[in-house]
Amino acid sequence: MERQIFVYDTTLRDGTQREGISLSVDDKLKIARRLDEAGFHYIEGGYPGSNPKDIEFFSRIGELALKQAKLVAFGSTRRPNSPTPDASLIALTDVVTPAACIVGKSWTLHVDKVLGTTLEENLRMIADSVDYLKSAGREVIYDAEHFFDGYKDDPGYALATLKAAAEAGADWLVLCDTNGGSLPEQVQQIVQAVIAALPSAHIGIHTHNDSELAVANTLAAVAVGATQVQGTINGYGERTGNANLCSIIPNLQLKQGYRCIDDDQLRQLTDLSHYVAEIANLAHDSHLPFVGASSFAHKAGLHVNAVMKNSRCYEHIQPELVGNRQRILVSELSGRSNILVKAEQFGVNLSDKSGDVRVLLDTLKQLENEGFQFEAAEASFELLMRRLQPQYHPPFELLDLFVIIERRRNMGIVAEATVKIKVGDTIYHTAAEGNGPVNALDVAIRKALLQFYPELAGVQLVDYKVRVLDGNDGTGAVVRVSIESSNGKESWATIGSSPNIIEASWLALADSLEYALLKSSKGERGDAELETVIRPT
């Protein structure tokens, strides 16, 4: 029978200690709802006595009507030589939660230098605090801070702190690698020693990633008997972060036979990872294991050839199990297999025996040598592939382009773009102003095209990035312009490259609009019937 592992999420408390993260109360409520839907067993909401934001969060959490997760209020043991309860403990029982987590000292160094009290008083602080919370009807999770460092210095005292918590009624004893410096074999040996000393205790593990071993240390602890895993979504946390639950859960469930959450919930893990990153206003790390966009991306031609025959050749799990997907990339490292896979995805008829594949590969490698990069600009690559088909006719053609920038008295910098564009047999000549040369160019292009393609009115530019490819050339360097566009339902990325930023921007802008027309044509006719001539209305 599968052994149940209990998932304890501390994104809303420990995760927010990451530099650059600041969640509003509404943000925390949104994340809590998703964590509950994900099947997590415990959600640590924060410290209700520390700030008005956390106080409001606990007062509003009832709005969510959590279905599975237990909400946890976080705090610490009472202060040295203080009555029980003191203000910090009262704050934990002033909020209505089924569980409370308190942190206490396990390391003699901290008892002496940080708390400034005796070892005996620290034990009383732990026992009194746990006893008070149990008498208030709370499930108590005792986080033994710096436990592994404390055990290495004085194993007898570190164990005594756990025994004080257990004898006072703590439901969980969580061993914390707070400085993140322990190694997996050390974690295993110490967890085994704890279980031998306290065989009836329920043991949890809380690790930090300072040695990039947080996930490995968590798995090591579970392997020898820990049944609660604490961590955060995407590994967010102070310094280098906490243990990443998005890696811990699939490793335990898919590779080691433990049960953490339902299989259907596991398939939502990638979406959860992206959702939390979006709420935290952080770019999602595409290279995260399991849930990153690059986790199952294949670039080298030999790899693609093999993975198309059997995905197990270069994929350690099926990406769909965690809600991710396989991606085939194209670059100067691509082979015929990459091209054929992308052609099939795009609905372009390419034969492996034809010369089209070789021409496309040669063109791709030449363009990448000039500064283009198509890995993150699949819309531009699809257009490149279609343009090499003899029956394809572009929906518009730029004949002339003129951009001026002036500094006018009392008006500041003014940009104006003039374009001459051919659509079918019609040539349209127009100009527009903008708050910069690229904006002016974008406005002028749309002004010319909207009368022929009114569907472009719904296309918006949502991101614009410029990268200098070789800084040694100074202002004469080749630049790469990346554009993300959206029609409100879908988004796509295009690219341009040139020593002239205006030309690079034009190439990316033109691709974004041409691709929008291609998508519109697909929607009307379906991929199977798509004509490669896009005709104006």
Q: CATH number of the domain that 183 lies in?
A: 3.20.20.70
Is there a domain that residue 235 lies in? Answer: yes
Residue 216 lies in a domain: yes
Q: Domain residues for 90?
A: 72-257
Q: With 50 as the cut, is the pLDDT of residue 531 above it?
A: no
Per-residue pLDDT averaged across 465-479, rounded? 75
Place of tokens 């100067």: 332
Proportion of the chain above pLDDT 90, given as a percent: 53
pLDDT (average), residues 167-190: 97
Within a domain: 202: yes
Residues 251-290 as b or e (16 or more Cβ within 10 Å = b): bbbbeeebebbeeebbebbbebbbbbbebbeeebeeebbb
Number of compact structural domains in the chain: 2
Secondary structure of 15-84 in HEC code, one letter for each residue:
HHHCCCCCCCHHHHHHHHHHHHHCCCCEEEEECCCCCHHHHHHHHHHHHHCCCCCEEEEEEECCCCCCCC
Question: Number of C-alpha atoms within 13 angstroms, CB side, residue 229?
Answer: 36
Query: What is the number of residues in the chain?
Result: 537
Give the number of other CB atoms < 10 A from CB of residue 396.
22
3-state SS class at 402: strand
Pairing of strands 6-9, 327-328: unpaired
448 lies in some domain: yes
> Count of H helices and E strands in the chain?
18, 16
Residue 258 has pLDDT above 80, yes or no: yes
User: Which one of 214, 237, 257 terminates a domain?
Assistant: 257
Who's near 221: CB < 8 A, 6+ residues apart? 175, 187, 188, 191, 203, 205, 207
What is the enclosing helix (H) or strand (E) of 406? strand 397-408
Q: What does DSSP assign to residue 259?
A: B
Report the alpha-carbon distance of residue 45 to residue 163 in Å, rounded.
27
Please give the structure tokens belonging to residue 99. 């569980």
Taking the C-alpha atoms of residue 33 and residue 490, their distance in angstroms, rounded to an integer, is: 26
End-to-end C-alpha distance for the chain, whole angstroms: 64
pLDDT higher for 42 or 63?
42
Residue 43 lies in a domain: no
Phi and psi torsions of 20, nearest 5°? 95, -5
Give residue 221's pLDDT.
98
CATH number, residue 459: 3.30.160.270
- Asked if 95 contacts 68 with a C-beta cutoff of 8 angstroms, the reply is no
Does residue 537 have a pLDDT over 60?
Answer: no
Residue 362 CA to residue 358 CA, distance in Å, equals 6
Q: Which residues contact 403 (CB under 8 A, 6 or more apart)?
A: 415, 416, 417, 418, 437, 440, 441, 502
Q: What is the DSSP letter of 506?
A: H
- Which two structure tokens, joined as six digits, stand for 345? 């995805």
Residues 6+ apart with CB under 8 A from 451: 428
Mean pLDDT of the chain: 87
Domain final residue pick, 236, 257, 278: 257
What pLDDT shows up at residue 525?
Answer: 43
Q: Which of 203, 222, 257 finishes a domain?
A: 257
**pLDDT reported for residue 526:** 45
Q: In this predicted structure, what is the pLDDT of residue 530?
A: 44
pLDDT, residue 474, reads 67
Q: What are phi and psi of 433, to 5 degrees?
A: -100, 160
| Interatomic CA distance for residues 340 and 333, integer angstroms | 14
- The separation between CA 61 and the C-alpha centre of its own chain, rounded to angstroms, equals 25
Q: Which pLDDT band, with edges at 50, 70 and 90, does 189 fall under?
A: very high
Instruction: Return the exposure string of 323-333: e unless at least 16 CB atoms fall within 10 Å of the residue's CB, then b.
Output: bbebbbbbbeb
- Residue 183 domain flag: yes
pLDDT > 60? residue 527: no
Q: Which two tokens stand for residue 305?
A: 């050839």
In this predicted model, which residue has the larger pLDDT, 219 or 440? 219
- Quickly list H helices, 280-419: 301-309, 336-346, 356-369, 378-387
Closest C-alpha to 148, from 107, 185, 101, 113: 107
Q: What is the per-residue pLDDT for 364?
A: 72
Least confident of 73-82, 181-190, 292-301, 341-350: 341-350
pLDDT category, 42, cuts 50, 70, 90?
very high
> Strand pairing of 491-498 and 479-486?
antiparallel
Please name the residues in contact with 84: beta carbons below 8 A apart, sequence gap of 6 or more: 78, 128, 129, 131, 132
With respect to residue 390, please indicate whether it lies within any of the assigned structural domains: no
Residue 225 near residue 187, CB atoms below 8 Å: no
Joined tokens for residue 158: 């570190």
100 is a domain residue: yes
Grade residue 491 by pLDDT with cuts at 50, 70 and 90: confident
Q: Can you give the pLDDT at residue 472?
A: 66
Name the maximum alpha-carbon separation found in the chain.
Answer: 91
